[in-house]
Chain A
Amino acid sequence: MNLIREIWQSIVRRDPLSTDKGKSELVFLNVWLHIHPAKVKKENMKFRHTFYLGFITFFLFLILLTTGIALMVYYRPYPAQAYQDMKDLQFAVFMGTFLRNMHRWAAHGMVICVFLHMCRVFYTGSYKKPRQFNWVIGVLLLLLTLSLSFTGYLLPWDQLAYWAITVGTNIGSYAPLIGGQLRELLLGGHSVGEGALIRFYVLHVAVLPAAMILLTIVHFWRVRKDGGLSRPVWKLKGKKEELVVIGAPAVAVPMQASATSKDKTYGLMEVVSGKPIFETVTPEEEEDTVFSYPYAFVREAVVLMATVTTIMTMSLFLNAPLEELANPARTPNPAKAPWYFLGLQELVSHSAFLGGVVAPALMVLALLAIPYLDRNPSRRPGDRKLILWLFTIFVVANLALIIVGTFFRGPGWALVPPWVHVVGGAE
């Protein structure tokens, strides 16, 4: 028995979890858990503050990593074999369809959740000082998510894949000065062929995931270093300090009620040397803090299980589409990109340079610059009406372009309402 205890104690050095010391040590003696604070504020963990969108995105990414590695076992990135391997996954490989479905639906889910997460951070003003740089990292993670989706699309080597990449890399060739070389670099040739397939495969399974993992680590690290989750908007104090009146009404002297609490300048990391750069904790808020174990971990586990269950359930009932084998001679009519690129395709259908290069570049630059251009220190929605309207217009415009591209474009990219059925599209 002593040996068993010795083995256990060689692995786990913390005190029992029934003690506060044990609960703290569980977090900061463990290399994986210590990205969490030992204690969290209950208010900040409220579902209606973050909707747990960052967690969901991360869990979807974990699903993508695991299913992606599984799919690699049966996939060969050559034009002659790639589509064959898709058919093998569908009909011959045990659980092949299910794994491919999971990979596809998790990818779609990640695009949605990354976008919603960005909206949440914007609407709660959580990109403001000191979190400006983490917003920039977040925008880069959004771009990586879209790049991973795009490179993943070529791999099945079906009609959708082939034409999406043809159009996509041609958009790249409109980039000034480097356009032509950029396209050649991506394709490893002058047209979409085996050189392009292996390059997109390397990007999809090695280069982009590595970048994603590195930036995700920075993103999480900065959440902690910037003072943990932002405070819910409804907990923010108004601009006017509440005044406490001391003395008789005739000789009343106003005193700031918050004066005493400002003396206490430590954050959630308990003891930090120097003046903290983030929101300070008032005594009444400190009472709201609880140990991460079990409060935060249980909530994260529930979100993880809900995410996995949702993706698995979807994958049982909905199959990832697979079109016919890539045929360079016949462009499908209409040739549509996956839904999250249809807004871009709609822009491109008006002008390849303005819609495909200038507009997306400006959008990305605007997103990156938001935390540095928005000088308003207040996070309260009432103080930020204009910028909230501007961002809402940006979101609605993007959604509108996607909806038009998805539902209102028929053969020859003609404007066709979804309720009109086109018989035998112009071929």
Chain B
Amino acid sequence: MNRREFFKISWGTVGLAALVSGVGVSLAAVIRFLMPSVFYEPPQSFKIGEPGDFPFGPPTFLVDEKIFVFRDREKGFAVASAVCTHLGCTVAHFSSDQRFHCPCHGSVFAADGSVQHGPAPRALDWFEVTMARDGKLLVNKDKVVPPNYRLMV
């Protein structure tokens, strides 16, 4: 290898490395740019009201939060997700058969949220519900609890 060849190869390598790293860093930056740093979305943890706001019997459906609030005289409070685990449609609770039905692809969930029928891959989530200091019920969607979780008030 002579001097001319040496410089040709070295500068070529440096140039190529600069190009590849430049494109790579830019691409990574663009993807990061597209990922929002701040989400202007409702919080995952929120208060839903006083215990007395919720009747016994059929669950109360909270539209914006997409949750069902169950209240039972003996067992207490439980909160189930209304979002189908298949593709995110909103399930409906039928009091006739005590089950959840998804309108999109026909998944059916039992009263405890487990899949009974259809393409849903896993059971409906149950969320932690606790009593806040001001006496209101506090739901935390980040904390998934077992279906037998209950809050006694």
Contacts and interface: CB of A to CB of B under 8 A. Distances in A.
Interface of A: 163, 166-167, 170-171, 181, 184-185, 188-191, 193, 195, 328-335, 345, 348-353, 356, 411-414, 426-427
Contacts of B89: 163, 166-167, 331, 335
A328 B90 contact: yes
Contacts of B106: 349, 412-414
A342 B64 CA distance: 28
A53 B92 CA distance: 45
B103 A412 contact: yes
A350 B119 contact: yes
B119 A333 contact: no
B88 interface: yes
B121 A427 contact: no
26 contacts: A167-B87, A167-B89, A188-B34, A188-B36, A191-B41, A328-B63, A329-B61, A329-B66, A329-B90, A330-B90, A331-B89, A331-B103, A333-B92, A333-B103, A334-B104, A335-B103, A335-B104, A349-B104, A349-B119, A350-B119, A352-B86, A352-B87, A356-B87, A413-B106, A414-B106, A427-B92
A348 B64 CA distance: 27
Contacts of A411: 103
Q: Which residue of B40, B87, B101, B106 has the most chain A CB atoms within 10 A of its CB atom?
A: B87
Given A163-B104, A334-B103, A334-B104, A184 B35 contact: yes
Contacts, number: 86
B121 A352 contact: yes
Q: Which residue of A184, A332, A349, A426 has the most chain B CB atoms within 10 A of its CB atom?
A: A349
Contacts of A170: 86-88
A351 B34 CA distance: 30
Given A167-B89, A348-B87, A349-B119, A331 B66 contact: no
Rank and list the top 8 A-B pairs by shortest CB-CB distance, nearest first: A333-B103, A413-B106, A329-B63, A349-B105, A170-B87, A170-B88, A331-B89, A167-B87
Contacts of B66: 328-329
A426 B106 CA distance: 11
Nearest to B44: A190
B139 to A, nearest CB: 16
Interface in B35-65: 35-36, 39-41, 61, 63-64
Interface string B83-123: 00011111010100000011111100000000000110100
Given A185-B34, A191-B41, A193-B41, A331 B105 contact: no
Contacts of B40: 195
Contact of A413 (B39, B63, B92, B104): B104
Contacts of A349: 104-106, 118-119
A411 B102 CA distance: 10
B35 to A, nearest CB: 6
B31 interface: yes
A304 B25 CA distance: 46
Given A185-B34, A413-B105, 18 more contacts: A166-B87, A166-B89, A170-B87, A181-B35, A189-B36, A328-B63, A329-B61, A329-B64, A331-B90, A331-B103, A332-B103, A348-B105, A348-B119, A350-B119, A351-B119, A352-B119, A412-B102, A414-B106
Contacts of A163: 89, 104
Q: Which residue of A167, A335, A351, A412 has the most chain B CB atoms within 10 A of its CB atom?
A: A412
Interface in B124-143: none
A336 B143 CA distance: 32
Contacts of A348: 87, 105, 119
Contact of A190 (B31, B39, B94, B104): B39
A389 B153 CA distance: 68
Contact of B104 (A167, A195, A414): A167
A203 to B, nearest CB: 11
Nearest to B117: A412
Contacts of B88: 166-167, 170
Nearest to B121: A352
B106 to A, nearest CB: 4
Nearest to B91: A331
Contacts of B103: 331-335, 411-413, 426
Nearest to B101: A412
A350 B31 CA distance: 33
A11 B39 CA distance: 56
A426 B104 CA distance: 12
Interface in B1-60: 31, 34-36, 39-41
